[in-house]
Structure 1
Amino acid sequence: MSKATLYLDDALHQALRVKAAETRQTMSDLVNDALKASLSEDLEDIAEWKKRRNEKTYGYEEFLAQLKADGTI
């Protein structure tokens, strides 16, 4: 495990300390969990983008027209 120095907004640091105390987890564990979740979400987004990157794209006006034609708006 590596050690890092983070500079947090005072209010964010206080919220992290409170959550750590309430959940009986370390601040490091909470930060690690948050980073893992964020990075995992990025990987999911990238995978989805790769699956859909060859789909037809629509301009805004064309998209609105399609929504109207479908009765969505």
Structure 2
Amino acid sequence: MSTLTKRATVYFDPAIHRALQHKALVASRSLSDIVNDAVQQALAEDAEDLAAFEERVHEPLVSYEAVLKELKANGRL
């Protein structure tokens, strides 16, 4: 973990907290490191999703009704 850190209070469900404590013990890591890594992964996934949306911004929009109509016309519904 970086030397420049911020402190925050996070409330976990007791069972999740217990599982995190066990995981930290088994992995010889701090609970903070495990949670920090999980949050970084979630933010990285969000960044990938946003990039994918940006790449597709100029694609034509297709309504839900149009998709259903096409599926029905093709005998899939």
Runs of 4+ more than 2 Å apart:
64-71
Uncovered stretches (5+) of structure 1, i.e. residues with no partner: none
Q: Which has the higher helix share?
A: 1
| Aligned residue-pair number | 72
Which residue is equivalent to 2:29?
25
Are residues 1:5 and 2:30 paired? no
Tell me the residue number matched to 2:58.
54
Shift of 1:67: 4.7
C-alpha distance 44-68 of structure 1, shift in aligned 2 (>3 A): same
Distance 1:22 1:57 in 2: 49
For the aligned residue pairs, the C-alpha RMSD in angstroms reads 1.7
Cα separation, partners in 2 of 1:29 and 1:51, compared to 1, 3 Å = same
Question: What is the CA distance between 1:54 and its match in structure 2?
Answer: 1.6
Amino acid at match of 1:28: S
Greater relative CO (CA pairs within 8 A, separation 6+):
2
Instruction: Tell me, yes or no, if structure 1 residue 15 matches structure 2 residue 19.
Output: yes
**1:4 alignment partner, SS class:** coil
Give the structure-1-normalised TM-score. Answer: 0.81
